[in-house]
Structure 1
Amino acid sequence: MIHVTIWNEYERERSRPDVAKIYPEGIHGAIAAGIHQDGFAIRTATFDEPEHGLTQEVLQNTDVLIYWGHALHHKFRDDIVERICSRVHQGMGLIVLHSGHHSKLFRKLMGTSCDLLWREADEKERLWVVDPSHPIVEGIGPYIDLPEEEMYGEHFDIPVPDELIFVSWFAGGEVFRSGCTYRRGQGRIFYFRPGHESYPTYHHPDICRVIGNAVKWAAPVKRAPTYYGHHEPLEILAK
């Protein structure tokens, strides 16, 4: 069983009727419904809950954290950023969606500004699969078409990805590295670009399939804890 926590600010759905119409159960609710399958135990958490819903107990019982944020990055508590980073280093998987690229959490883990170009003009996006052997794209064709999305364009100020899974092309001409994997400590991270709140992206079955596949990929390896620090020799040392 993979224990998944889906975190969402849950701000735009409550402040904007157009977003609420698309996501009446919140973005977190749509993702939970879209990735639901045997083997996943799913819970959700939102910004206004105590400790943003990401208490030490919640994170200790989370194998993979899915993170969607946009308007409240600057208000996210620094101590909870440190808490999440610690869990990633210990092996918890992390999936960062769309505007989560500019969160304190993602920027800390990347060590860069994570800045980019953007434009909201209802443009077609085509996400090309550039690593067809990767488990994150299991069941996905050569590309995913989204009729309307927010544009993100290069240069995307991130470290060179460990693996590049998707590259997006937009109707306005820009391209973007839209599916990137990283390892930090013992944890696996997947950044996945699509998902602006004013479009029904998280109702798209292929988008949900990618996220579900990423959960399986990012889930921690079950093994004995790794220890650090001073260590006695395993063998008798010659005097």
Structure 2
Amino acid sequence: MNVTVWNEFRHEKNDEAVKAVYPSGIHEAIADFLNEAGFATKTATLDEPEHGLTEDVLKQTDVLVWWGHMAHDEVSEEIVSRVHQRVLDGMGLIVLHSGHFSKIFKRLMGTSCDLKWREAGENERLWVVNPGHPIAEGIGETIELEHEEMYGEHFDIPVPDELIFLSWFKGGEVFRSGCVFHRGQGKIFYFRPGHETFPTYYQSDVQKVIINAAHYVAPSKRDKPVYGNAQPKESLS
């Protein structure tokens, strides 16, 4: 399976605290464990031509992983439309953390995707609320993160087609932190953890969830449905 990990790759260049955690970039940290899990993984970043998401790259991508934060507005509408169409055609999409405000996620959701937030380095407990779901395979009742940025409800998204994780934060907030959506022939998984100043993507359970999600949102092995005018299957006489 071919996975492309997309990242702005801006914080890691401009913020020493982020660079200390992810010296080669968040995208490389994610690509490393996906490669170890057996995926054919490549990376793409904002400042590459066409943001690294050319027609050819996307055509060969089964699952696209997206991390963005400080430069959502710099992503071109042409590339957003290109990714959007690939999702509708069946490409899987995993949107991480602050990617909730990305142009592609907001276009697919059709809502503001806004939420409450706080940077206090508090602990987060993700409860598995759908234990039979393939994305939760190999995960216990909870995932414990010692330090994370808080996201709190209300999260302005459509009702998820599948809810797998619900987060609780030390400050008292809760958040729908693992959501699956179906759009066209494609599947989208939003996963909340992953603030840039914390080593969240080195945590084994977080890695396991992303690996499971890549398998789950991968394109189905069937032909695209045929639309338009159709001849009857049975005689109308």
Q: Shorter chain as normaliser: what TM range?
A: over 0.9
Identical counterparts, % of pairs:
62
* Counterpart AA for 2:145: L
CA contact (8 A) 1:35 1:209 kept: no
User: 3-state DSSP class of the match of 1:223?
Assistant: coil
Residue equivalent to 1:87: 86
Residue equivalent to 1:126: 125
Q: Equivalents in 1 of 2:49, 2:158: separation in Å?
A: 33
Please show how residues 7-18 of structure 1 align to structure 2 within 5 Å: 7-18=6-17
- How much has 1:25 moved relative to structure 2? 1.4
Structure 1 residues 51-93: Cα deviation after superposition (integer angstroms, max 9, x where no partner): 1001111111110000000001011101111111100000000
Residue equivalent to 2:65: 66
Is 1:151 the counterpart of 2:153? The answer is no
- How much has 1:169 moved relative to structure 2? 0.5
Q: Equivalents in 1 of 2:92, 2:235: separation in Å?
A: 39
User: 3-state DSSP class of the match of 1:156?
Assistant: coil
Residue equivalent to 2:102: 103
The CA RMSD measured in Å over matched residues stands at: 1.2
User: 3-state DSSP class of the match of 1:35?
Assistant: helix
Please show how residues 181-196 of structure 1 align to structure 2 within 5 Å: 181-196=180-195
Residue equivalent to 2:33: 34
- Label 1:176 to 1:223 Cα distance change in 2 as closer, same or farther (>3 A): same
Q: Equivalents in 2 of 1:214, 1:38: separation in Å?
A: 12
- How much has 1:192 moved relative to structure 2? 0.1
Is 1:115 the counterpart of 2:119? The answer is no
- How much has 1:123 moved relative to structure 2? 0.4
- Label 1:36 to 1:117 Cα distance change in 2 as closer, same or farther (>3 A): same
CA contact (8 A) 1:34 1:202 kept: no
- Give runs of ≥4 in structure 1 deviating > 4 Å: 233-237
Q: TM-score, normalized by length of structure 2?
A: 0.97
Structure 1 residues 125-166: Cα deviation after superposition (integer angstroms, max 9, x where no partner): 011100000000111111011100000000000000011100
Q: Equivalents in 2 of 1:80, 1:231: separation in Å?
A: 33
User: 3-state DSSP class of the match of 1:36?
Assistant: helix
Unaligned runs of 5+ in 2: none
* Counterpart AA for 1:12: H
User: 3-state DSSP class of the match of 2:143?
Assistant: strand
Is 1:169 the counterpart of 2:183? The answer is no
- How much has 1:40 moved relative to structure 2? 1.2
CA contact (8 A) 2:34 2:41 kept: no
Q: TM-score, normalized by length of structure 1?
A: 0.96
- How much has 1:236 moved relative to structure 2? 5.8
